[in-house]
């Protein structure tokens, strides 16, 4: 049948099973929005307050559901406002398809009103991107975008469509979406045998879990593997929930704000088994001193990650769910009881702790865990609150922590929480923010109230840029340059002005009833929690130091930070 390009875009979205799109209209994309209007009973469109919010919402939808998230924007500033969200998805391997419209083909390259080369701009931060100038190629391009976004190591794909293509007509034939199969062609028997031998020969193995284990849905295989290998387990920020945070083998997060047990244990281990992790600098600290006594066995779908940041002694390339299945078939039950006893001794000696005499960030996180029974989706912004959310909430299932790990995007969480709630309406969704992050995209509270998306926004309000201030305190002689936010902004009044229910919490005893009421209301809620400006995240590894040099607050007097 003959359809316009705009109608083809909508039909292709329906083919792919897309039920929700996040976006913001404008002149060049009007034809697409007109077609979308006619299918509003099949595809829900969420009009965000800003295009960046749309990109983050698509990202949050994808992370929470495992499906491809979709966002749309018009040309020029509409498209460029998606860039930060696209880069966030790229760094964390999130499958997103961003559809933008551009000026007509005959106006390209002429500095036309709201013209920008968005394909060129996003080339370094997309898995692939397209500019469609021929309507006959549109359907196949969109189909390819979805396949690329979700295959192998996922990532964002941008499809830029010129305005004349959205109006032109061509023959359209519906197609069933191609199945995307796990990547297994590089899994070699000799690599599996080497991996099993390394595990069997190891006396002190340690399992390090990254976001790839979440993406590949490998949590069941991972838990079987960990118990077969009989080894302690740590994770990255992105790997949270792939391994149960309540499991006795779990030692907490690794790296700059990881536990002493994980950092010391990885430093002392003789084999580091890495599943779907890329050895970020925030994990390794001084890479030359990272796991320096260990052989490194890396399991990853992306061969480019092997030997990129840390020298690898052996690797198995392929979808980690399939790799773990094959290893579990070959690996006999191991016994590392002596090593585990040593690790458990560290866990007892170096527990996470905080001042429980007053309202603090860790207390708020623990209370959220308690009142939700650990069964919520937790989104975060970036900073101290993000680290507290990683440390003090126990994630027992994958896709329950949504956070910007690689890019570290302030302003990510609120948009992501809207997308997560749209994708998982059965879940309670919290967004944890600092006041600095909340200011970035707090206008998305208006989006939440417009559609009654019942997210609970918790602001850990210390009236400063907390993580930057922490660094200024420790490493910059307490020179608080441009990090004090002690002004007259009232988040409760702002939230109420945007139509949300809002609370201010200043004491510990006020928090639990507010959290319970917020969950019962089932409407957008903002909770402004007033905490001290000098609360810090510990443990910590100083920049450039080895993770074995991690320190806690009680160690400060023993350190010279320069």
pLDDT, tens digit (0-9, with 9 covering 90-100), for 355-371: 999 999 999 999 999 99
Closest CA to 276 of 240, 329, 230, 228: 240
For residue 556, the model assigns a pLDDT of 84
The position carrying tokens 């993770």 is 547
Q: Which residues are catalytic?
A: 51, 113-114, 163, 467
With CA atoms as reference, report the closest residue to 378 among 133, 364, 14, 317.
Answer: 364
Residue pair 546/290 in contact by the 8 Å Cβ criterion: yes
CA distances from 349 to 250, 352, 357, 559 (A): 15, 10, 22, 20
Average pLDDT over residues 457-476: 98
Show the tokens assigned to 334: 């191991």
Judge whether residue 354 has pLDDT over 80: yes
Tell me the pLDDT band of 550, cut-offs 50, 70 and 90: very high
In this predicted structure, the answer to whether residue 32 has a pLDDT above a threshold of 70 is yes
For the whole model, what pTM was predicted?
A: 0.97
Note whether 414 and 441 are within 8 A (CB): yes
Query: Residue 558: how many CB atoms within 10 A of its CB?
Result: 7
76-87 mean pLDDT: 98
d(CA 259, CA 389): 14
Q: What average pLDDT does range 200-227 have in this prediction?
A: 98
Q: What topology does CATH give the domain 361-538?
A: Rossmann fold (3.40.50)
136, with CB counted inside 10 A (0-12, 13-18, 19+), is middle
Q: What are phi and psi of 550, to 5 degrees?
A: -65, 150
Q: What are the pLDDT digits (tens) for 394-409?
A: 999 999 999 999 999 9
Q: Is residue 562 scored above 50 in pLDDT? A: no
pLDDT(231) > 90: yes
What architecture (CATH level 2) is domain 189-349?
A: 3-Layer(aba) Sandwich (3.40)
Looking at CATH, the fold of the domain delimited by 2-171 is given as Rossmann fold (3.40.50)
Separation between Cα atoms, residue 298 and residue 183, nearest integer Å: 16
Residues near 394 by Cβ (< 8 Å), separated by ≥ 6?
Answer: 245, 246, 369, 374
pLDDT tens digit string along 499-511?
999 999 999 999 9
Separation CA 364–CA 453 (nearest Å): 23
Map out the domains of the chain as residue ranges. 2-171, 189-349, 361-538
Q: In the prediction, which pLDDT does 560 show?
A: 53
pLDDT > 70: percent of the chain: 99
Query: pLDDT at position 559, please?
Result: 58
Closest CA to 314 of 185, 191, 454: 191
Contact between residue 59 and residue 411 where contact means Cβ atoms under 8 Å apart: no
Cα–Cα distance between 380 and 403 in angstroms, integer? 5
Asked whether the beta carbons of 456 and 430 are under 8 A apart, the reply is: yes
Confidence of residue 166 (pLDDT cuts 50, 70, 90): very high
Contact 75, 115 (CB under 8 A): yes
Provide mean pLDDT across the span 159-188: 97
How many angstroms separate the CA atoms of 330 and 342, rounded? Answer: 27
69, two tokens = 């998230």
- Topology match between the domains 2-171 and 361-538: yes
Identify the pLDDT of residue 162: 98
């Amino acid at each position: 049948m003959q359809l316009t390009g705009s109608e083809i875009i909508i039909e292709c979205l329906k083919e792919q099973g897309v039920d929700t799109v996040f976006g913001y209209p404008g002149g060049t994309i009007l034809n697409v929005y007109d077609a979308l209007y006619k299918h509003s009973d099949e595809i829900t469109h969420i009009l965000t307050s800003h295009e960046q919010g749309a990109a983050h919402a698509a990202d949050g939808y994808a992370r929470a559901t495992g499906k491809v998230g979709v966002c749309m924007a018009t040309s020029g500033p509409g498209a460029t406002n998606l860039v930060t969200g696209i880069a966030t998805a790229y760094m964390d391997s999130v499958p997103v398809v961003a559809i933008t419209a551009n000026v007509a083909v005959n106006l390209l390259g002429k500095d036309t009103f709201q013209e920008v080369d968005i394909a060129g701009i996003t080339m370094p931060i997309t898995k692939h991107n397209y500019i469609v100038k021929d309507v006959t190629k549109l359907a196949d391009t969109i189909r390819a975008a979805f396949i690329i976004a979700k295959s192998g190591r996922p990532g964002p794909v941008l499809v830029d469509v010129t305005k004349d293509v959205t109006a032109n007509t061509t023959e359209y034939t519906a197609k069933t979406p191609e199945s995307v199969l796990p990547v297994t062609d590089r899994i070699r028997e000799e690599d599996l045998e080497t991996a099993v031998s390394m595990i069997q020969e190891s006396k002190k193995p340690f399992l390090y879990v990254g976001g790839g284990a979440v993406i590949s849905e490998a949590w069941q295989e991972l838990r079987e593997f960990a118990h077969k290998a009989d080894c302690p387990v740590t994770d990255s920020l992105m790997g949270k929930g792939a391994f149960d945070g309540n499991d006795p083998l779990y030692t907490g997060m690794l790296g700059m704000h990881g536990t002493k047990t994980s950092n010391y244990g990885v430093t002392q281990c003789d084999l580091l088994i890495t599943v779907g992790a890329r050895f970020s600098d925030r994990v390794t600290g001084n890479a030359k001193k990272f796991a320096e006594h260990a052989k490194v066995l890396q399991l990853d779908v992306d061969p480019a990650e092997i030997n990129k940041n840390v020298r690898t002694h052996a690797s198995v390339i392929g979808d980690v769910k399939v790799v773990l299945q094959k290893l579990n078939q070959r690996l006999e039950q191991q016994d590392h009881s002596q090593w585990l006893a040593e690790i458990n001794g560290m866990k007892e000696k170096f527990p996470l702790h905080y001042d429980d005499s007053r309202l603090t960030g860790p207390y708020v996180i623990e209370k959220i865990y308690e009142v939700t029974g650990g069964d919520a989706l937790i989104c975060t912004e970036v900073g101290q609150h993000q680290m507290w959310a990683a440390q003090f909430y126990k994630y027992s299932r994958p896709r329950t922590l949504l956070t910007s790990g690689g890019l570290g995007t302030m302003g990510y969480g609120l948009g992501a929480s809207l997308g997560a709630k749209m994708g998982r309406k059965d879940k309670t969704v919290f967004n944890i923010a600092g006041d600095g992050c909340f200011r970035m995209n707090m206008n998305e509270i208006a989006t939440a109230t417009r559609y009654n998306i019942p997210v609970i926004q918790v602001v850990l309000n210390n009236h400063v840029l907390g993580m930057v201030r922490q660094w200024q305190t420790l490493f910059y002689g307490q020179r608080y340059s441009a990090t004090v936010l002690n002004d007259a902004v009232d988040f409760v009044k702002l939230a109420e002005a945007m139509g949300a229910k809002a609370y201010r919490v200043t004491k510990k005893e006020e928090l639990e009833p507010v959290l319970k009421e917020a969950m019962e209301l089932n409407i957008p809620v903002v909770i402004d929690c007033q905490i001290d400006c000098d609360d810090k995240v510990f443990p910590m590894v100083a920049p450039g130091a080895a993770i074995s040099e991690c320190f806690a607050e009680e160690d400060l007097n023993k350190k010279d930070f320069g």
